[in-house]
Structure 1
Amino acid sequence: MKNLFASIPASLEAERFEELAGGKDVRIERIVSRGHASPVCGWYDQSQDEWVVVLQGRAVLAFEQGGDVALSTGDHVTIPAHCRHRVKWTDPQQAAVWLAVHFSA
């Protein structure tokens, strides 16, 4: 048995991505951020849909098509495949713990 909130370091030089489970068309990962953001020109352009939930903390996602989405504990969003997005901000005072599910629709 493992715990999603275990092994969260007090400081992180880079976001931590950890695959928890996966299969043919799905990948589940835990992401831990603390004050991290994607580079301004660092858009994610993924071949699968992504459902992401913030389990702890706060973050802001930016979308190339325009608009930001502020997320806090319990908030979730589905990002369609090839919808270019990036992490604009995560709280530097508290770890943001994300659960991301990548899947083929």
Structure 2
Amino acid sequence: MKRALSTGRLLAGVQPEGAAGERFDDLLRQPGLRIERIVSTGQVSPPDFWYDQSEGEWVLLVAGQARLLIEGEGSPRFLKAGDWIDLPPHCRHRVEWTDPECQTIWLAVYYAPPVGGD
């Protein structure tokens, strides 16, 4: 069965001015792969909350700025537009800060763990 073509614009219609909360948009979803656009406007992870995902997550900061804390590291990593990081499965991390003055746009690529791993 042939899959239909899909298109879009990464930076179009991102977040209306004054919108509350983060925005999450799936751009592509296939078995073992999901690409998501996340738009933050000052949001952070809740206190004592850590992301701990069974899949890997490759993240590109498209616009804005953020601080990402990886469990076991002494201080958060400062990310700016163009920076990326590959978080392997179960790499516990949290968002410590996103710029409240502008949109922080993340492109997150979630991928299945290696065969035989989790």
Q: For the aligned residues, what is the CA RMSD?
A: 1.1
What is the CA–CA distance in structure 1 between the aligned matches of 2:18 and 2:87, rounded to whole Å? 28
What is the CA–CA distance in structure 1 between the aligned matches of 2:16 and 2:54, rounded to whole Å? 30
Q: CA deviation at 1:12?
A: 3.4
What is the CA–CA distance in structure 2 between the aligned matches of 1:6 and 1:90, rounded to whole Å? 20
Partner of 2:82: 74
State the structure with bigger RCO (CA 8 A, min sep 6), 1 or 2.
Answer: 1
Runs of 4+ in 1 over 3 A off after TM superposition: none
What is the CA–CA distance in structure 2 between the aligned matches of 1:21 and 1:14, rounded to whole Å? 22
Unpaired runs of at least 5, structure 1: none
Are the counterparts in 2 of residues 49 and 79 from structure 1 also a CA contact under 8 Å? yes
Alignment length (residue pairs):
105
Normalised by the length of structure 1, the TM-score is 0.94
What is the CA–CA distance in structure 2 between the aligned matches of 1:53 and 1:20, rounded to whole Å? 14
Normalised by the length of structure 2, the TM-score is 0.84
Q: Which has the higher strand share?
A: 1
Are the counterparts in 2 of residues 12 and 33 from structure 1 also a CA contact under 8 Å? no
What is the CA–CA distance in structure 2 between the aligned matches of 1:65 and 1:76, rounded to whole Å? 19
Alignment of 1:10-29 (within 5 A): 10-29=17-36
Unpaired runs of at least 5, structure 2: 1-6
Partner of 1:96: 104
Between Structure 1 and Structure 2, whose CA radius of gyration is higher? 2
Partner of 1:54: 61
Between the two proteins, what is the percent identity of the paired residues?
45
Partner of 2:92: 84
